[in-house]
């Protein structure tokens, strides 16, 4: 393509081909669609990623998505991904994002939104164990929202009751180890813009450490330590850091074992914060003609929020794939 750009950039047919080969952006990097046939003439009718993603979505609308990793899992409605840091997400940008609602004594008709989560099957939410442990007041999950307090944001959220919860058997409420849980919903969401994230249960993802990859974290948590929660869904891009660096940072504060994945910028400018607990750390990859997101972490804890020298701590999803599969039924 670079050769075509240099030698035939004024040829209308070439320009049309190059434009049709664009697959949007991930973290500001332009992505190129791989054609079925390398002939430029055969590629003149290529559609952009948005049209292809729509066809992909429509073609799988009536298919049985199964327990995990159905044909639509992890696909986003938004095709131009930005390098971001604590900015409001776009409408339908994160179709699997969830927020957990707890009973509110002051206002029984309005839940307290305290933790995050992610849809991993038609009726299951992945979240942190500490969001569920000893919380008899947890009762509802909201899916498909953008701004929690704006009914005119274009979103069509659904509040679905929780019928059961499963906390990891080895979860420690004092050490925050094995900080993972699954919620079962009363029914499936009906909003066509809601579907699950992918779980990295196969190679090459299952054994990937994702170190030095840029991942994303999203939620309605506080924008700074001890600050108020955000009404608008926030999205931030953060790098996965080496395990040794994370162990050194938390040497006297926490247990960092192989079930943990750490992520965050060294300068402390992006991180998860209070209220983001249980939310997803996810990573995007090109899958054919679409961008597909896999959840690689669950927000567990950190030192304050975006503190310099302290990455965020996440439960490593790849180490709990078997447990997840055994508890999604």
Active site residue 257: no
Quick one: 129 exposed, middle or buried, by C-beta within 10 A (0-12, 13-18, 19+)? buried
Is 168 catalytic? The answer is no
C-alpha torsion sign, points 299, 303, 304, 305 = negative
| Residues in contact with 23: Cβ distance below 8 Å, sequence separation at least 6, in sequence order | 31, 32, 33, 49, 79, 286, 289, 291
Which of 145, 179, 271, 276 is an active site residue? 179
Q: Which entry of 130, 145, 168, 276 is annotated as an active-site residue?
A: 130
Q: Does 179 participate in catalysis according to the annotation?
A: yes
Q: Are 241 and 262 in contact (CB under 8 A)?
A: yes
Give the three-state DSSP class for 287. Answer: strand
- β-partners of residue 102 are 112, 138
> Which of 21, 76, 229, 277 is flagged as catalytic?
277
How far is 73 from 308, CA to CA, in rounded Å?
Answer: 34
CA 163 – CA 329 distance, rounded (Å): 13
Catalytic residue annotation: 130, 179, 277
């Amino acid at each position: 393509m670079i050769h075509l750009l240099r030698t035939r950039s004024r040829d209308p047919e070439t320009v049309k081909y190059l434009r049709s080969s664009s697959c949007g952006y991930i973290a500001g990097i332009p992505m190129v669609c791989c054609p079925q046939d390398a002939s430029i003439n055969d590629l003149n009718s290529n559609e952009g990623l948005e049209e292809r993603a729509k066809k992909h979505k429509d073609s799988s609308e009536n298919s049985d998505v199964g327990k995990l990793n159905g044909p639509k899992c992890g696909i986003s409605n938004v095709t131009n991904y930005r390098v971001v840091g604590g900015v409001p997400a776009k409408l339908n940008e994160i179709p699997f994002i969830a927020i957990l609602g707890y009973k509110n004594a002051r206002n029984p008709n309005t839940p307290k939104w305290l933790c995050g989560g992610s849809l991993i099957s038609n009726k299951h939410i992945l979240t942190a164990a500490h969001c569920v442990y000893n919380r008899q007041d947890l009762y509802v999950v909201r899916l498909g929202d953008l701004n929690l307090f704006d009914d005119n944001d274009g979103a069509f959220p659904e509040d679905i009751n929780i019928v059961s919860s499963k906390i990891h058997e080895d979860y420690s409420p004092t050490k925050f180890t094995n900080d993972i849980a699954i919620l079962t919903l009363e029914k499936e969401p009906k909003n066509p813009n809601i579907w699950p994230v992918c779980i990295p249960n196969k190679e090459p993802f299952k054994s990937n450490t994702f170190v030095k990859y840029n991942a994303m974290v999203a939620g309605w948590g506080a924008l700074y330590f001890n600050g108020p929660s955000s009404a608008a869904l926030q999205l931030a891009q953060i790098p996965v850091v080496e395990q040794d660096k994370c162990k050194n940072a938390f040497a006297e504060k926490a247990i960092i074992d192989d079930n943990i994945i750490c992520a965050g910028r060294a300068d402390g400018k992006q991180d998860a914060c209070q209220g983001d607990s249980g939310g997803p750390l996810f990573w995007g990859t090109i899958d054919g003609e679409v961008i597909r997101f896999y959840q690689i972490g669950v927000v567990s804890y950190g030192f304050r929020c975006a503190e310099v020298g302290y990455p965020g701590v996440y439960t490593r999803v790849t180490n709990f794939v078997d447990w997840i599969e055994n508890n999604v039924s």
